[in-house]
Amino acid sequence: MAMQFYASPEQIMRDRSELARKGVARGRSAVIVSYSGGVLFVAENLSSALHKVSEIYDRIGFAAVGRYNEFENLRRAGVRMADLNGLSYDRRDVTGRALANAFAQTLGAIFTEQSKPFEVEISVAQVGATAEEDELYRITYDGSVNDEPGRMAMGGQAEAITSVLKSDHRADMSLSEAVRLSVRALSSVGGEGGASRTIAANQLEVAVLDRARVGRTFRRITGAALTALLEGDAAGDAAPTGGRAKTPTVPTEQAHKPTTSAGSADLEGQQPSE
Amino acid sequence: MAAGFDPSGRLPDVFTNAGTSSFTTFLSRVAPEMLPGRRPLPPGMAADLAPHATTIVAISAAGGVVMAGDRRATMGNLIAQRDIEKVHPADAYSLVGIAGTAGIGLELMRLFQVELEHYEKIEGAMLSLDGKANRLASMIRGNLGAAMQGLAVVPLFAGFDLAAKDPARAGRIFSFDVTGGPYEETGFDAIGSGSLFAKSALKKRFRTGLSIDDAARLAVEALYDAADDDTATGGPDLTRRIYPVVMTATAEGTHRLTDAETATIAEAVVAGRMENPGG
């Protein structure tokens, strides 16, 4: 039998973290913010068919950055879990917290057990009756969960993007204001010599969880509606329309916030990007 | 619920694999007991055990389709429920009505709704109208064993076909039998115990290119005729203000007429019959 070199668990975990962090940093970023009418997702995405942002359930959305095949795998699992629970119990009994827990467990197990961790950072957002009741969870490659205060950025230069969001984000923003802030935050990094750059409308993937709707609240905003929002046209502020089944669903009773998992923050000697 | 959870706490492979976009296929792996057709039934006829839902009619109109159902569920010679709802949206552009064993029918209908929504979320695109009808047919076929013991469920499916070239023909209706289907119907169709009378009424009154409003009125007329001759079908209940459920599927999506709207239609139908009981 070949001689095995000893590698300490710390070293193994550090190597995996580094691999995952590099993988996530290579991708383009995504921003999620609460606004007066719901929760807004804005992701930089060159493809209009391969989505980074998608619907999980009535009031729950999903956004991810990193390797497509890996987060797509998690997204499918989330949709299946949500639909299974919604059918077994009731549509109101599917919560963002339960999904965030399942994703955290799954990512945590993959991180410790498999030779290659998932190079992804994902988030689960649930729209509440008011902006204060929105729930935003960030789940990183190692399974740590963070409960974010109404705004978050994921991906390569999340810290710089978050700092723009932090200074200018308010929960009572209109949709148009929130879209423009998100795009400004996303474009504040990555230009020549760290300067800001411009991102065209066709490179953005924008979706909302619309607070006012009953039933399925997830809507994508594309084409002319998106251009109008980016130009600050007040007319574009009206909720995006689209023929949808009007199955009534009552907003869920506010659930407790989850505790922040210690996860790997101590392994890396720093807090996850804030 | 889902058996075989990994001790590590991660979701089992069946949740994450790319195998299928169908919710029923997924369910058959993780929780087969939740599929109506997968439950072992003791031998013997069970037809009289559970309430039965009765008449549903569907009419295609210019720019869409209208589906209406009476509100009665019966158990033998008794009325089990006066205000049961048997017509539901299947998704944003299609409607499903249930006749037969009420409990299994409603369960199947919920499962069908999740099936369509699940596909849409996983794939990022809606199934075609024919795809939806085929999917429903295979779900009905799965219930064949129970159907042979008297617990049959037969749905009526109708929807607005977003891929239709001619908008006048976008409203399409599919019927089924206990062995599956689907069978596409032209113009109109009815299912349930009162369907014979409803279809006879529709045969004389149906014209192609009806407006949605006229089709809604016609549907309520047909249900009145069914209730007239079939004891298991309930007519408009003016004293309790229980009126048929009328839904439409058009380019704008599905819509359920409000109680006030159906009350107006039902009262007009009843007033007409005061003068001419045969309609």
Q: How far apart are CA A260 and CA A147, in angstroms?
A: 7
Residue type, A115: S
Distance from CA of B46 to the nearest CA of A (A): 25
Q: At the topology level of CATH, where does B50-273 sit? A: Glutamine Phosphoribosylpyrophosphate, subunit 1, domain 1 (3.60.20)
In this complex, do B121 and A86 lie within 8 Å of one another by their Cβ atoms?
no
How is residue B5 written in tokens? 């959870």
Q: Report the complex ipTM.
A: 0.86
Q: How far apart are CA A171 and CA A178, in angstroms?
A: 9
pTM for this structure?
A: 0.85
Between the CA of residue A20 and those of A101, A173, A266, what are the distances in Å? 20, 34, 16
Report how far Cα A241 is from the mean position of its chain's Cα atoms: 23
Report how far Cα B189 is from the mean position of its chain's Cα atoms: 12
Q: What angle do CA A73, A223, B115 make, to 5 degrees?
A: 40
Side by side, which strands form the sheet with B253-256?
B188-191, B56-61, B64-69, B245-250, B253-256
In this complex, do B31 and A88 lie within 8 Å of one another by their Cβ atoms?
yes
Minimum Cα–Cα distance from A89: chain B residue: B1
Which residue, among A54, A52, A188, has the nearest Cα to A120 in the 3D structure?
A52
Residue entry with tokens 């497509």: A68
Q: Which is more confidently placed, A235 or A272?
A: A235
Question: What's the DSSP call for residue A232?
Answer: T
What confidence score (pLDDT) does residue A234 get? 53
Q: Where are the beta strands (DSSP E) in chain A?
A: 30-35, 38-44, 53-57, 60-66, 120-126, 135-139, 145-148, 151-154, 204-210, 218-221
Q: For residue A105, list chain B residues with Cβ-Cβ distance below 8 A.
A: 8-11
Residue in A51, A54, A106 closest to B11 by CB: A106
Rg over alpha carbons for chain B, rounded to the nearest Å, is 20
Residue entry with tokens 């095949």: A69
What confidence score (pLDDT) does residue A243 get? 41
In this complex, do B27 and A84 lie within 8 Å of one another by their Cβ atoms?
yes
Q: Is the pLDDT of residue A26 over 80?
A: yes
What confidence score (pLDDT) does residue B221 get? 93
In this complex, do B93 and A79 lie within 8 Å of one another by their Cβ atoms?
no
Which residue, among A61, A76, A83, has the nearest Cα to B21 in the 3D structure?
A76
What confidence score (pLDDT) does residue B5 get? 52
- Helix/strand/coil percentages in chain A, nearest 5: 40, 20, 40
- Residues 6 or more apart whose CB falls under 8 angstroms from that of B213 comprise none
What would the pLDDT profile of A180-237 be if each residue is shown by its tens digit? Answer: 999 999 988 877 777 778 888 888 999 999 999 888 899 999 888 888 888 875 544 5
Between the CA of residue B278 and those of A14, A75, B54, B121, what are the distances in Å? 83, 57, 21, 48
Percent of chain B with pLDDT over 90: 46
Q: How far apart are CA B172 and CA B152, in angstroms?
A: 24
In this complex, do A105 and B10 lie within 8 Å of one another by their Cβ atoms?
yes
Q: Is the pLDDT of residue B235 over 50?
A: yes
Size of interface A-B (CB pairs under 8 A): 85
Name the band, by pLDDT with cuts 50, 70 and 90, for residue A35.
very high
Distance from CA of B42 to the nearest CA of A (A): 24
Q: Which helix (H) or strand (E) holds B88?
A: strand B87-91
Q: How far apart are CA A146 and CA B251, in angstroms?
A: 42
Residue in A54, A79, A110 closest to B10 by CB: A110
How is residue B210 written in tokens? 């009806």
Angle of helix B129-141 relative to helix B102-123, nearest 10 degrees, comes to 140
Please say whether the beta carbons of A201 and A42 come within 8 A.
no
What would the pLDDT profile of A56-86 be if each residue is shown by its tens digit? Answer: 999 999 999 999 989 998 999 999 999 999 9
Instruction: Give φ, ψ of A196 to 5 degrees.
Output: -80, 170
How is residue A222 written in tokens? 């594309």
- Residues 6 or more apart whose CB falls under 8 angstroms from that of B238 comprise B266, B267, B270
Q: Which residue intervals of B51-143 are DSSP H helices?
A: 102-123, 129-141
Residue in B11, B92, B255 closest to A81 by CB: B11
Chain A residues with CB under 8 Å of a chain B CB are: 49, 51, 54-56, 73-74, 76-77, 79-81, 83-84, 86-88, 102, 105-106, 108-110, 112-113, 216, 243-247
What confidence score (pLDDT) does residue B7 get? 62
Average pLDDT over residues B100-122: 90
Residue type, A70: E
Please say whether the beta carbons of A33 and A150 come within 8 A.
yes
Minimum Cα–Cα distance from B94: chain A residue: A245
Q: Is the pLDDT of residue B52 over 90?
A: no
Q: How far apart are CA B112 and CA B102, in angstroms?
A: 15
Residue type, A49: A
What is the average pLDDT value for chain B, to the nearest integer?
A: 88
What would the pLDDT profile of B9-34 be if each residue is shown by its tens digit? Answer: 778 888 887 778 888 888 888 888 88
Q: For residue B113, list chain A residues with Cβ-Cβ distance below 8 A.
A: 247
Q: For residue B11, list chain A residues with Cβ-Cβ distance below 8 A.
A: 77, 81, 102, 105-106
How is residue A183 written in tokens? 């795009």
In this complex, do B27 and A246 lie within 8 Å of one another by their Cβ atoms?
no
* HSE-up (13 A, CA, CB side) for residue B1: 13
Is there a catalytic annotation at residue B20?
Answer: no
* HSE-up (13 A, CA, CB side) for residue A179: 27
Which of the following is catalytic: B16, B20, B24, B54?
B54
Q: How far apart are CA A258 and CA A238, in angstroms?
A: 33
Helices (H) and strands (E) in chain A, counts: 6, 10
- Residues 6 or more apart whose CB falls under 8 angstroms from that of A180 comprise A229, A230, A232
What would the pLDDT profile of A126-165 be if each residue is shown by its tens digit? Answer: 999 998 999 999 999 999 999 988 899 998 888 889 999 9
In this complex, do A102 and B93 lie within 8 Å of one another by their Cβ atoms?
no
| Residues in chain B, overall count | 279
What confidence score (pLDDT) does residue B124 get? 87
